[in-house]
Amino acid sequence: MSAASAPLVELRELSKSYGGVHALADVSFAIERASVHALVGENGAGKSTLVKILTGVVHPDAGEVLVEGAAQRIADPQAAHRLGIVAMYQEPTVFPDLTVAENVFAGRHPRTRVGAVDWRRMRSSVARLLDELGVDFGPDTPVRGLGVADRQLLEIAKALSTDARLLIMDEPTAALSPHEVERLFATVRQLRGRGVAIVFISHRLNEVTAIADSVTVLRDGRHVATQPATQLTEAEIVRLMVGRSLDALFPKEEAEIGEVVLRAEGLTRRGVFSDVSFELRRGEIVGLAGFVGAGRSEVARAIFGIDRLDAGRVWIRGRRFRPRSPRAALRRGLAYLPEDRLQQGLVQTMPIATNLSMAVLPELTPGGVLRPRREQALARRFMEELRIKATSPAQPVRSLSGGNQQKVVLSKWLAAEPSILVLDEPTHGVDVGTKADVHRTISRLAAAGLSILLVSSELLEVLGMSDRVLVMREGRLVAELPRAEASEERIVQAAAGVEGAAA
């Protein structure tokens, strides 16, 4: 086969196992030039392993990678760089102490003739890159001041700056608002026009069908299908991924809605949100929708006592509650799952059981001594209920896939048996199957009498799960829609401040 007709990258019978567990088994497919190739599959399906092989972070046990028809040994990330293979990682890997420009060129500063760092060239080429991307921060902006969405855009700029031939985007849209996603897609198409191949990994299947030319589905480390995107619908992709249909995704159980449990009035935090009032009832799921930056998480954090409120009052079951500290909130039965819960909610090196028992240690330690058997039993109960894929409660959290880690954090808070649960993007970055598990759990909790405030950027999730939807825009509550009246259009209209929105 001549180099010209060979695909840009071809994978042949790649296999990789970790300690006897197959992460990848016999996977073969090809990635063409100037195309967007979506890679989908549940967490643990083998996507990350595949990316790591392509970027030289891990080495396959068997099989080979061909670049333009020639077999290549990708020994390390630098070798991948030389082949033009660049990955944008799921968690932005930025350098907070440095400027945007130096972040882009970290480790490969442009040099002047005498070998010094060429700051001027660095700034101007980053400025050009940022203009192309249409972002509104400059090369001299300190990265410490950028939020998650901006950092993601920075990652894209970083990848673009390397003249990549194959750009791997692992969940690039997870933290982006719809507007930003559109901008990213425009950039992706522009890159494709220049002949770059893009491997696009996303759990948002509507994005996959919108941007991809071809789709490869992995399941349990095996290759299920590679097909042109035009031949696949979202529902078909889901079926290939899990063998379940879309209807199973939002299994909302009927819950009896009772008395008001949480009441917030006039909540204000200067410059962030103002005059936010709402009620939450027993057994009710209230969705809090809006674009990234509308102030949803900030409201949740303030109620939980992480950020200070400048004004406003909160009642829990009719009694005044002053949000001062997370501890105080927990004592009143209020639990909050933060957005970057893998960072804030887990001790990665410790076993599942230890992580799970953290919030309920007093109950497991009668007389001040830990009863390991109770701890194990607790862990097993939640592993079963939430279908956490692990060999035993003693397995360290670090060795679990992202989705399963997510479930461990959720279990940890549930173990404390709160009566009010604030979930901040509970399925952010989670695969379809895990999502359904999480949704099922949320729904069951509500049916059992818990009150749930669901902060989510995913409209389908908000619509599918909520009894009532609150919409925020620019720090204000702009709409309240009962389940029957809530629709994708109405939420987006309200969130964007477009005419026709319920005010």
Partner 1 sequence: MLRRGEAVSTLTVVARLRDAGIFVALAATVLLFSVQATNFATVDNWQDIATDVAMVVTVAVGETMVVLTRNIDLSVGSVVGLTAYISSNTLAHHHGVPIPAIALLAVAVGAACGVGNGLLVTVGRIPAIIATLATLSIYRGVLFEVTHGENVLASQLPQGFLDLAAKTPAGLPSLAWMALGVAIVGAVLLRWAPWARDLYVIGSNPDAARLAGVRVGTRVMTAFAVSGALAGLGGFMFAARFASVDAVAGRGFEFDVVTAVVIGGVNVFGGSGSVLGATLGALLVATINNGFTLLRISEFWKIFFEGTAIVVAVTVDALFKQRLQQALRRRRRAEMIAAHRSATT
Site for partner 1 in 122-151 (CB under 8 A): 127, 136-142, 144-147, 150
Residue 53: name the closest of 28, 72, 74 by CA.
74
Q: Which of 69, 77, 178, 396 binds partner 1 (CB under 8 A)?
A: 77
Short-list 204, 200, 179, CA closest to 191: 200
Q: Pairing state of beta strands 21-31 and 9-18?
A: antiparallel
58 three-state secondary structure: coil
The answer to whether the CB of 60 falls within 8 A of the CB of 451 is no
Task: Output the CA–CA distances (angstroms, integers) from residue 320 to 12, 261, 300, in the order listed.
Answer: 64, 11, 17
Q: Copy the structure tokens of residue 494.
A: 């309200």
Q: Which of residues 290-329 bind partner 1 (CB under 8 A)?
A: 291, 293
> Rounded to an integer, what distance in angstroms lies between the CA atom of residue 366 and that of residue 362?
7
Size of the site for partner 1 (CB under 8 A): 43
Stretch that binds partner 1, among 88-96, 274-282, 415-423, 459-467 (CB under 8 A): 88-96
- Shortest gap between Cβ of 106 and partner 1 (angstroms)? 5
Q: Which is nearer to partner 1, 108 or 371 (CB)?
A: 108
Q: Does 170 bind partner 1 (CB under 8 A)?
A: no
CA-atom Rg of the chain in angstroms: 24
Question: Quick one: tokens of 196?
Answer: 């770059």
Q: Quick one: 20 or 115, whose CB is closer to partner 1?
A: 115
- Angle at which helix 119-133 crosses helix 148-160, to 10 degrees, equals 110
Q: Does 32 bind partner 1 (CB under 8 A)?
A: no
Considering the complex, what minimum distance in angstroms separates the CB of residue 110 from partner 1? 9
Distance CA 219, CA 25 (A): 10
Q: Does residue number 94 form part of the binding site for partner 1 (CB under 8 A)?
A: yes
Distance, in Å, from the CA atom of 309 to the CA atom of 303, rounded to the nearest integer, reads 8
Selected range binding partner 1 among 98-106, 185-193, 348-356, 444-452, rule: CB under 8 A: 98-106
3-state secondary structure of 380: helix
- 178 near partner 1 (CB under 8 A): no
Instruction: Tell me whether residue 52 or residue 223 sits nearer to partner 1 (CB atom).
Output: 52
Nearest-angstrom CA–CA distance, 24 and 49:
7
Position 366 contacts partner 1 (CB under 8 A) = no
Check residue 59 for interaction with partner 1 (CB under 8 A).
no
Burial class (CB in 10 A: 0-12, 13-18, 19+), 484: exposed
Does position 228 bind partner 1 by CB under 8 A?
Answer: no
- Cα separation, 77 vs 55, whole angstroms: 5
Under the criterion CB under 8 A, does residue 236 sit at the interface with partner 1?
Answer: no
Is 503 a binder of partner 1 (CB under 8 A)?
A: no
Question: In which residue are the tokens 């970290």 written?
Answer: 106
Among 62, 117, 235, 347, binds partner 1 (CB under 8 A): 117
Q: Tell me which residues in 481-500 interact with partner 1 (CB under 8 A).
A: 496-498
Quote the least distance from Cβ 308 to partner 1, whole Å. Answer: 12
> Within a 10 A sphere around the Cβ of 359, how many other Cβ atoms?
18
What is the smallest separation between the CB atom of 142 and partner 1, expressed in angstroms? 5
Contact status: 107 vs partner 1 (CB under 8 A): yes
Q: Report the residue number, 101 or 285, with the smaller CB distance to partner 1.
A: 101
Among 34, 98, 358, 460, binds partner 1 (CB under 8 A): 98
Decide whether 79 or 246 has the Cβ nearer to partner 1: 79
Burial class (CB in 10 A: 0-12, 13-18, 19+), 402: middle
Q: How far is the CB of 87 from partner 1 (least distance, A)?
A: 8
Shortest spacing between CB 376 and partner 1, in angstroms: 33
Which part of the chain contacts partner 1 (CB under 8 A), choosing from 28-36, 111-119, 363-371, 422-430? 111-119
Q: Which is nearer to partner 1, 58 or 316 (CB)?
A: 58
* Residue placing its CB nearer to partner 1 in the complex, 166 or 414: 166
Q: Which residues of 406-416 are buried (b: 16+ CB within 10 A; e: fewer)?
A: bbbbbbbbbbe
Binding flags for partner 1, 268-297, as an x/- string (CB under 8 A):
---xx------------------x-x----
Distance CA 236, CA 233 (A): 5
460 interacts with partner 1 by CB under 8 A: no
Which of 262, 246, 188, 215 minimizes the C-alpha distance to 436? Answer: 246
Interface with partner 1 includes 106 (CB under 8 A)?
A: yes
Q: Tell how far CA 93 is from the center of its chain.
A: 15
Least distance in Å: CB of 272 to partner 1? 8
242/432 Cα distance (integer angstroms): 8
- Among 72, 93, 125, 277, the residue binding partner 1 under the rule CB under 8 A is 93
Question: Rounded to an integer, what distance in angstroms lies between the CA atom of residue 173 and that of residue 190?
Answer: 17
Residue with tokens 């097993």: 380
Comparison of 149 and 314: residue with beta carbon closer to partner 1? 149
> Which residues form the interface with partner 1 (CB under 8 A)?
77-78, 81, 89, 93-99, 102, 106-109, 111, 115-117, 127, 136-142, 144-147, 150, 179, 271-272, 291, 293, 474-475, 496-498
